[in-house]
Amino acid sequence: MSFVKLDADILQSTLWLDREAREIFITALLLSMPRDFTEPIRQISVRSLDETGFTAPPGWYGFAPVSGPGLIHRAIVELTPGLAALERLGAEEPGSRTPLFGGRRLIRVEGGYVVLNFMAYHDKDHTASERMQRYRKRQLLLKETRNVNKETRNVAHSEVRGKSEEIQETPSPVVPRPRNPLFDALVEITGANPAVSGGEIGKALAAIKIIMPDVTPEEIRRRAANYKTQMPDCTMSALALAKWWPKCDIAGSGHTGKPRLSAAEFSAASQRDDPFGEGPR
């Protein structure tokens, strides 16, 4: 459907004072489509098929493919006053502000009605230049805003990338783990590899600290030496030392001068106070 502008100047025309003619004319404007007539347009009478004798020159007009009664019905006007209004719209009007076509506005033709001044309403635009200026300003502002946003995104992306590269290039400092003298003493006296037997050594140290909470590295070394003199035939590990910790307070011959216990005697004496509930390894 075509778009047509309704000029506010219509309020100053004689048409605005004629209610039926005004309603029918505006309805015809809304129903019309632009059409290029290449032949002269002969007007037909509203109430008959006779020609009135008026002829509009070839050109562009608005054409509404509707009958007279149909147009009147669309305009919500009674039939009799509506037919009279159609006759007035197609008749010459000397007092009209627009002398073109003798003041005629709407004429009946073959196939419908022609709005003679349709293109004047269709093309009329008092604010086209001003609207184009506002449109160009909006487009320019939109383009500038997009450029600013793009630059902001690029800067932000560069900053984030730079910080990311700085973080990747700067390695985290390695904080050395504090030494545990008790753990180191057990590693020393057993000759174990802490990377392999670290869990076993830690478990043994925990068991020793339950028996003797204030144990010192020197005490570990002393009891390890006693373990070797009491059971020279047994392999000493951290867990073995923890198991026989209470009995290793006794020194064998060569340390205190006391007689050295045999493995069997040491085992029998140890059954009464075995923290792990097991015999010698």
**Between 19-31 and 79-90, two packed helices, what is the crossing angle to 10 degrees?**
80
Q: Which alpha helices (H) appear in the chain, and where do they start and end?
A: 19-31, 68-74, 79-90, 118-123, 128-169, 181-190, 194-211, 217-230, 238-243, 263-270
pLDDT in the model for residue 258? 44
Contacts 24+ apart (CB under 8 A), 11-15: 12/97, 13/96, 13/97, 13/98, 14/93, 14/95, 14/96, 14/97, 15/105
> Virtual CA dihedral for 4, 58, 72, 93, nearest 10 degrees?
100
Domains of the chain, by residue range, sit at: 8-123, 128-166, 181-273
- Residue 141 near residue 148, CB atoms below 8 Å: no
57 to 36, 116, 232: CA distances (angstroms) = 11, 10, 134
Is residue 100 over pLDDT 60?
yes
Contacts of 276 (CB under 8 A, 6+ apart): 207, 242, 243
List the structure tokens of 181. 């003298």
State the pTM of this model. Answer: 0.45
**pLDDT, mean of residues 1-19:** 80
Bridge-based pairing state of the strands 51-56 and 41-44: antiparallel
List the structure tokens of 256. 């205190």
Contacts of 205 (CB under 8 A, 6+ apart): 180, 182, 183, 186, 238, 242
pLDDT band at 255 (very low <50, low <70, confident <90, very high): very low
Q: For 154-205, write each residue's pLDDT tens digit.
A: 666 666 676 666 656 666 677 777 889 999 999 998 888 888 888 999 999 9
Looking at per-residue pLDDT, the higher value among 273 and 161 belongs to: 161
**pLDDT, mean of residues 126-146:** 78
pLDDT in the model for residue 126? 55
Contacts 24+ apart (CB under 8 A), 189-192: 189/220, 189/221, 189/224, 189/236, 189/241, 190/224, 190/236, 190/237, 190/238, 190/241, 192/237, 192/238
pLDDT in the model for residue 120? 81
List the structure tokens of 202. 């830690």
Contacts 24+ apart (CB under 8 A), 219-225: 220/182, 220/185, 220/186, 220/189, 221/185, 221/188, 221/189, 223/248, 223/249, 224/189, 224/190, 224/248, 225/251, 225/255
Q: Is 96 helix (H, G, I), strand (E, B) or coil?
A: coil
Q: For 14-51, write each residue's pLDDT tens digit.
A: 889 999 999 999 999 999 999 999 999 999 999 999 99
**pLDDT, mean of residues 41-68:** 96
pLDDT in the model for residue 235? 84
Q: Is 213 helix (H, G, I), strand (E, B) or coil?
A: coil
pLDDT in the model for residue 119? 86
